[in-house]
Amino acid sequence: MTNAFSTIWRCGVVVMASALWVSGTLATDERAIQFPDVPGFHTVAVDLHTHSVFSDGLVWPDIRVEEARRDGLDLIAITEHLEYQPHADDIPHPDRNRSFELATEYVDQQQLDLLVVNGAEITRDIPPGHVNAVFLADANPLRTNMVMDAFLAADRQEAFVFWNHPAYLDHFPDGVAQLTDMHRELIQRRLLHGIEVANAGSYSAEALQIALDHNLTILGVSDIHGFIDWDYDIHDGGHRTVTLVLARERTAEAVREALLARRTIAWFNNLLIGREDVLMPLLETAITVSDAVVRSQSEVVDVTLSNSSDASVDLRNTNSYRFAEHSAVVRVPAHGQVTLGVTGEPQSAFDLEFEVLTALVAPETHPTLRLHVEVEGR
Ligand SMILES: [Zn+2]
Ligand SMILES: [Zn+2]
Please tell me the distance from the alpha carbon of residue 225 to that of residue 104, in angstroms, as a whole number: 19
Nearest ligand for residue 119 CA? 1
| Distance from Cα 336 to the centre of ligand 2, integer Å | 37
Q: Is the pLDDT of residue 7 over 90?
A: no
Mean local confidence (pLDDT), 311-329? 97
Check: CB of residue 223 under 8 Å from CB of residue 55: no
Residue 303: Cβ within 10 Å count = 23
More confident residue, 115 or 6: 115
Cα of 128 to ligand 2 centre, how many Å?
A: 11
Residue 300 predicted with pLDDT over 70: yes
Paired with 133 in beta bridges are 120, 161
Mean pLDDT of the chain: 93
Q: Domains in the chain, please, with CATH?
A: 28-274 (3.20.20.140), 287-374 (2.60.40)
Helix H or strand E encompassing 66: helix 61-70
pLDDT tens digits for range 192-242: 999 999 999 999 999 999 999 999 999 999 999 999 999 999 999 999 999
Q: If you measure from the C-alpha of residue 196 to the centroid of ligand 2, how many angstroms do you get, rounded to a whole number?
A: 11
Nearest bound ligand to CA 224? 1
On the question of pLDDT at 12 being above 50, the answer is: no
The Å distance, Cα 338 to ligand 1 centre, comes to: 39
Task: For residue 199, report the distance from its CA to the centre of ligand 1, in Å.
Answer: 9
> Residue 1: what pLDDT?
52
User: Residue 321, class by beta-carbon neighbours within 10 Å (0-12 exposed, 13-18 middle, 19+ buried)?
Assistant: middle
Does position 354 have pLDDT exceeding 90, yes or no?
yes
Poorest-pLDDT segment among 16-25, 47-56, 147-156? 16-25
pLDDT at 5 over 50: no
Ligand nearest to the CA of 129: 2
Give the distance (Å) from ligand 1 centre to CA of residue 53: 12
Tell me: pLDDT of 8 over 50: no
In angstroms, what is the span from residue 330 Cα to ligand 1's centroid?
37
Cα(262) to ligand 1 centroid in Å equals 22
User: Which 3 state secondary structure label does DSSP give 155?
Assistant: helix
**How far does the centroid of ligand 1 lie from the alpha carbon of residue 16, in Å?**
22
Determine the distance separating the centroid of ligand 1 and the alpha carbon of 366, expressed in angstroms.
29
pLDDT per residue over 133-151, tens digit each?
999 999 999 999 999 999 9
CA 164 / ligand 2 centre spacing (Å): 6
CA 82 – CA 267 distance, rounded (Å): 27
Among all ligands shown, which has an atom nearest to the Cα of 168? 2
- Whole-number Å distance, alpha carbon 291 to ligand 2 midpoint, is 47
Verify cis geometry, omega within 30 degrees of 0, for the bond prior to 128.
Answer: yes
Find the 303 Cα to ligand 2 centroid distance in Å: 47
Residue 73 clears pLDDT 70, i.e. is over it: yes
Q: How close is the Cα of 253 to the center of ligand 2, in Å? A: 25
> Cα separations (Å) of 170 from 81, 161, 176, 284?
16, 21, 11, 40
Q: How far is the CA of 221 from the centre of ligand 1 (A)?
A: 9
Query: What confidence category does residue 3 fall into, taking pLDDT thresholds of 50, 70 and 90?
Result: very low
Distance 67 CA to ligand 2 centre (A): 20
Cα 249 to averaged position of ligand 2 atoms, centre (Å): 30
Q: Please state whether beta strands 349-356 and 115-123 pair in parallel, antiparallel, or not at all (unpaired).
A: unpaired
- Please tell me the number of the ligand nearest to residue 123's CA: 2
Quote the DSSP letter at residue 216: P
> Is the Cβ–Cβ distance between 152 and 38 less than 8 Å?
no
